[in-house]
Structure 1
Amino acid sequence: MDNYDVKKDLRHLYGAKGRIERVDVPTLGFVTADGEGSPNTSRLYTDVVEALYTTAYAVRALAVEEVGRKHTVGPLEGLWWADDLGAFTASRDEDAWKWRLMIVQPDWITEELFRAGLERAVARKAPAAADRVRFTRFEEGPCVQVLHVGPYDQEGPAIARMHDEFMPARHLKPRGLHHEIYLSDARRTAPARLRTILRQPVEAVA
């Protein structure tokens, strides 16, 4: 049985390099859950991550059993925003951060298969944040992205290059939400070696 791995099969989206580049992101399916608070101190953040992975692995097992398709569970991703953007810059008020955590799914994962996987996850492990988990598809479209290597709290210069240099030079402006894709397991990787794709949807300046 062939194995689908999003980091290999969609390498242009999940294998970014150190240089900023433009990409077009098609419609993709995700197991997602929303929340707010600091990723460093919020119990909800921890519970959501657990619920997403428990569900994603249950969906993967069902896909093998019912569809005969096998895939590697994708990396954790996050969309980030705040009512006051100063919470990300000036004040670094992490408790005010809002987020949508996600795990990408192959295109053969349906709403029905997801629901069955979620039911299995709840029956076997009862993750605390299971009630927040849902399945969605969305298309980001034109984006710019770059690979950041290092601690999460040192992403600022790379983000600034995207917004202040790369976009204006190409008559682009940001739209939508800041997107991060975590290629490393923060529990097992030294901060200096963390690999994170920073992505921003864009549109042409009128």
Structure 2
Amino acid sequence: MTGELRRVTVFCGSNPGTDPAYAEAARALGAELAARRIGLVYGGGAVGLMGIVADATLAAGGEVTGIIPQHLWDKEVGHKGLTELLVVGSMHERKLAMADRADGFVALPGGVGTFEELFEVLTWTQLGIHDKPVGVLDVAGFYAPLLGFLDSAVTAGFLREGHREILRSATDPADLLDQLGAWRPVEIQKWLDREQR
């Protein structure tokens, strides 16, 4: 990772959530990406926070690549006004394509799909499968319980402090993108018990 963010993959909810702050944050992130000339890569939906972040990026003159599985496109939840749209065969293909096109990853609020995508790319960074930064936009404290849980995993001996620090967080899109751009991978042994042998 050179520190240059040319494209960022954003994971987020296909619903808007109950707090208007979630949609406001999605709009702010989209506008900030466009202002920095960072392309948005996302799941291709026109609904929920997905549609909001895509529309905000496009409205600010940014480029947006959507990647959506055929079965979701068939349900007419896909965005038809993107810079680029890829319709793929499966969720696995979608996630791989989103990861391949990204220089970093951001998670907005969302549900289990968002969490699963976030943890997959976080694991890939931890294992050295890629060397890309990962962050969460902690809107209205949404991710505070998750961040606290990861701290507990360090205390419990299941996660190294250095690996915990891979996941960056901020309440402001500009701050988070600055952190991701400054991030550098660190070589850390994953297996805690190897030192005890």
Same fold per superposition (TM over 0.5)? no
Higher strand share: 1
Please give the range of the TM-score, normalised by the shorter of the 2 chains. under 0.3
Name which one, 1 or 2, has greater alpha-carbon Rg: 1
Q: Normalization by structure 1: what TM-score?
A: 0.25
What is the TM-score normalised by the length of structure 2? 0.26
Q: Which has the higher contact order (CA 8 A, sep 6+)?
A: 1
